[in-house]
Chains A and B, each alone.
Chain A
Amino acid sequence: MKLTIPEEEIMGHGHLACQGCGGALAMRYTLKTLGRNTVLSVPACCWSVIDGPFPHSAVNIPVFHTAFEAAASTASGIKAGFEIQGKDVNVVAWAGDGGTYDIGIQALSGAAERNDDILYICYDNEAYMNTGVQRSGSTPLKAWTTTTPVAHPKDRPKKDLISIMAAHRMPYIATASVAYPEDLTEKLEKAKSIKGTRFLLIFSPCPPGWRADPKNTVKLARLAVETKVFNLLEIENGLDWRITKKIRKPKPVIEYLKLQGRFRHLTEDDVSLIQENVEKEWNILMNKVGE
């Protein structure tokens, strides 16, 4: 049988990610596809720890650790530095959801508006996991975190970052999931071939932060797609929306929710509310896709 994703391992083992880390899987796929002529600008996020302590590093390509809000701007600087020296390198901003949806959105928006030639990848685990599970703009409705305790779970839906990015009319935006590595590597290949700012959101479950069994990381990522909680899509030039993984018979959200301790407190009403929200978001998305 053939391998369905690139064979070469660039990311090394021995890294400090938790068991079953979706963010580690996302990095592994990304490096496999982008290859060694790649540089990462990494703001404060799980990966600032996962990569290992000075003077060690797990990824075997250059990593530039930068300030929390500065993944995109640092990447823009790195790209300009290479360009003026005549070097053609894939420059990637590699940030978590806190560094993307929240504190880093200004620099990201600036880079996208200028259309700087960088690939921005957010590995989205839906909370500030590195600091111990605090809510971010990406945390979903009704989820528990340490700052949205069970008595007061998150009262706002996950920020629709993809629409914000689409509003920049940037050349390429995609969502991907660690459960669909072939789709992910295809999107990375495409992103790599395009000039300008490209944005990729990789859905990356976090077993400790989601209070989930590490063995279920890929299963959860798949269920998120099968329940339409997280949709796999591509947007070209901010206007041309396309679903890349069509779900014929979506599963009820409870199948996804019940495997996660962060949703253990949900009442039946809560589950219905989440289901309604999923339908509503799906309809909004369908309008954009034009189906």
Chain B
Amino acid sequence: MRKVMIGNHALSYGAKISRAQVIPAYPITPQTEVVELLSEMCANGEMDAKFIKVESEHSAMTASIGASATGARVFTATSAQGLALMHEVLHWAVGARTPIVMGNINRAMAPPWTIWTEQTDSLAQRDTGWMQLYAQNSQEVLDSVIQAYKVAEAVQIPAMVILAAFVLSHTSEAVELPEQGKVDEFLPPYEPEYRIDPANPHAFGGLTGPDGYFELRYQIQKAIEDALPKWDEVGAEFGEVFGRKYGLIETYKVEDAKNLIISSATLASTARTAVDTLREKGEKVGLLRIRIFRPFPSAQIRSILSSVDRAVVVDRNISFGASGIFYQEVKAAVYNEKNPPPIFGVIAGIGGRDVTKKDIIDIYEDIMRMDEPKSDIIWKGVRL
């Protein structure tokens, strides 16, 4: 069945069709429609789920953790300030190994107050242990929620499905709703090894000293590493069942590409159209879209970068005092290679400033004129 919906509702329908059972959530622009629809579907019986109208995002996350620890499937969603308020307990969700799936609408951080898109809110959570998936359209949002549960529950690590504020969250697109029966087969009910259960009592998260903590942390790293092939496997299986295949990364015209544009989320969609235009001009250019940011698909990125002459990473985010965050990670991935290509880092679209196809073409043409990267940041679109 096809249905026209905004990106936010693609998250809600993703949670519904995944049979999320507990949804503790707090409203924040531009995420509000996600929880409005979910609360309605919980209230009218369309979903067999409990919606908890918590009084803050901190409580949204801790209620999610508690519910997940009982073995329930849990969904929540937030954005920017809300995600930042959750920071402490994002770590908790990982340490407690609760495979919550959360939607995050990428919105720039205050002050000054703003509601437009930027990725710094979610990327600032990169060391919490949450898996992070950057989606580029509503179909992918919905499909990714289903896949995220499958991967998260397999490795017992929570996952964020991330979409751009307004550009995606409030844009209407036709979305194919997968059949419930097929989704149920693809995503069976969650059965954790340990759950809160009076019949089989455990304490969870008790005091642990230097003689035990390290091994627990090591296991988190191993689990999230295990998720790397899982995302590809689950994305491929999803393709077989539903006809839309997904992976850790997505490539476009890279086979014979000499130069590469690397980006994520909706910026990558814009970059794709720029690649077409540049190709028409005779440029041997391709696009690499990083879909899964955590775990970071270093090997996949290395293998593509091994055959190009230069690459540019376009970041809609910034780590102040360093550079764009995807840029750092891509560079780190190839540092130990024999002859890594020069990699340029561009920061564009901060705070929701438009990034057009022409901007991407300009970026590409600019870096083609340069001999080598002279600094870690090339600014695009800031009025200097």
* Direct contact between the two chains A and B in their complex (CB within 8 A): yes
Q: Which A residues contact B (CB, under 8 angstroms)?
A: 36-39, 41, 48-49, 51-57, 59-67, 69-70, 72-78, 80-85, 87, 89, 106-107, 109-110, 113-114, 116
Answer whether residue B138 sits at the interface, using C-beta atoms and an 8 A cutoff: no
| Residue in contact with B50 in the complex, picked from A52, A55, A84, CB distance below 8 Å | A84
Q: Are A66 and B66 in contact (CB under 8 A)?
A: yes
Given known A52-B206, A63-B204, A65-B206, contact A80–B198 (CB-CB < 8 A): no
Supplied contacts A62-B204, A65-B204, A73-B66, 12 more A-B pairs, CB within 8 Å: A52-B206, A52-B207, A53-B212, A56-B206, A62-B198, A64-B205, A72-B59, A78-B66, A80-B52, A81-B196, A85-B71, A106-B58
Q: Are A57 and B203 in contact (CB under 8 A)?
A: yes
Q: Mark B179-212, 1 if CB is under 8 A from A, else 0.
A: 0000000000000000011100111111111001
Given known A70-B89, A81-B22, contact A64–B207 (CB-CB < 8 A): no
Task: Collect the chain A residues with CB atoms within 8 Å of residue B63's CB.
Answer: 73-74, 76-77, 80
Answer whether residue B17 sits at the interface, using C-beta atoms and an 8 A cutoff: no
Q: Are A80 and B24 in contact (CB under 8 A)?
A: yes
C-alpha gap A74/B205 in the complex (Å): 13
Task: Collect the chain B residues with CB atoms within 8 Å of residue A62's CB.
Answer: 196-198, 201-204
Q: Are B207 and A53 in contact (CB under 8 A)?
A: yes
| Residue in contact with B65 in the complex, picked from A37, A53, A74, A83, CB distance below 8 Å | A74
Of residues 203 through 231 on chain B, the ones whose CB sits less than 8 Å from some CB of chain A are 203-209, 212
| Residue in contact with B54 in the complex, picked from A37, A57, A76, CB distance below 8 Å | A76
User: Which of A39, A54, A116 counts the most B-chain CB atoms under 10 A from its CB?
Assistant: A54
| Residue of chain B at shortest CB distance from A36 | B198
Q: Are A63 and B70 in contact (CB under 8 A)?
A: no
| Residue of chain A at shortest CB distance from B212 | A54
Answer whether residue B88 sits at the interface, using C-beta atoms and an 8 A cutoff: yes
Instruction: Give chain B nearest CB distance to A143 CB in angstroms.
Output: 28
A-B contact pairs, 26 of them (CB 8 A): A51-B207, A52-B203, A52-B206, A53-B207, A54-B205, A61-B198, A63-B204, A65-B203, A66-B66, A67-B88, A73-B54, A74-B66, A76-B52, A77-B52, A78-B67, A80-B24, A81-B21, A81-B67, A81-B69, A81-B72, A84-B50, A89-B198, A110-B54, A110-B55, A110-B56, A114-B52
C-alpha gap A41/B67 in the complex (Å): 11
Task: Collect the chain A residues with CB atoms within 8 Å of residue B89's CB.
Answer: 67, 70
C-alpha gap A251/B45 in the complex (Å): 59
Task: Collect the chain A residues with CB atoms within 8 Å of residue B206's CB.
Answer: 48, 51-57, 63, 65
Task: Collect the chain B residues with CB atoms within 8 Å of residue A72's CB.
Answer: 59
C-alpha gap A39/B200 in the complex (Å): 11
Answer whether residue B255 sits at the interface, using C-beta atoms and an 8 A cutoff: no
Answer whether residue B12 sits at the interface, using C-beta atoms and an 8 A cutoff: no
Task: Collect the chain A residues with CB atoms within 8 Å of residue B328's CB.
Answer: none
Task: Collect the chain B residues with CB atoms within 8 Å of residue A78's CB.
Answer: 66-67, 69-70, 196
Task: Collect the chain B residues with CB atoms within 8 Å of residue A114's CB.
Answer: 52-53
Q: Are B72 and A39 in contact (CB under 8 A)?
A: no
Task: Collect the chain A residues with CB atoms within 8 Å of residue B203's CB.
Answer: 51-52, 54, 56-57, 59, 62-65
| Residue in contact with A106 in the complex, picked from B56, B70, B196, B209, CB distance below 8 Å | B56
C-alpha gap A38/B54 in the complex (Å): 23
| Residue in contact with A66 in the complex, picked from B50, B65, B68, CB distance below 8 Å | B65
| Residue in contact with B198 in the complex, picked from A39, A76, A116, CB distance below 8 Å | A39
Instruction: Give chain B nearest CB distance to A37 CB in angstroms.
Output: 5
Q: Are A67 and B62 in contact (CB under 8 A)?
A: yes
C-alpha gap A73/B64 in the complex (Å): 9
Q: Are A57 and B21 in contact (CB under 8 A)?
A: no
C-alpha gap A197/B136 in the complex (Å): 43
| Residue of chain A at shortest CB distance from B216 | A54
Instruction: Give chain B nearest CB distance to A194 CB in angstroms.
Output: 20
User: Which of B56, B72, B212 counts the most A-chain CB atoms under 10 A from its CB?
Assistant: B72
| Residue of chain A at shortest CB distance from B69 | A64
Instruction: Give chain B nearest CB distance to A155 CB in angstroms.
Output: 30
Q: Are B24 and A49 in contact (CB under 8 A)?
A: no
| Residue in contact with A110 in the complex, picked from B21, B49, B59, B70, CB distance below 8 Å | B59
Q: Are A73 and B196 in contact (CB under 8 A)?
A: no
C-alpha gap A74/B93 in the complex (Å): 11
| Residue of chain A at shortest CB distance from B21 | A84
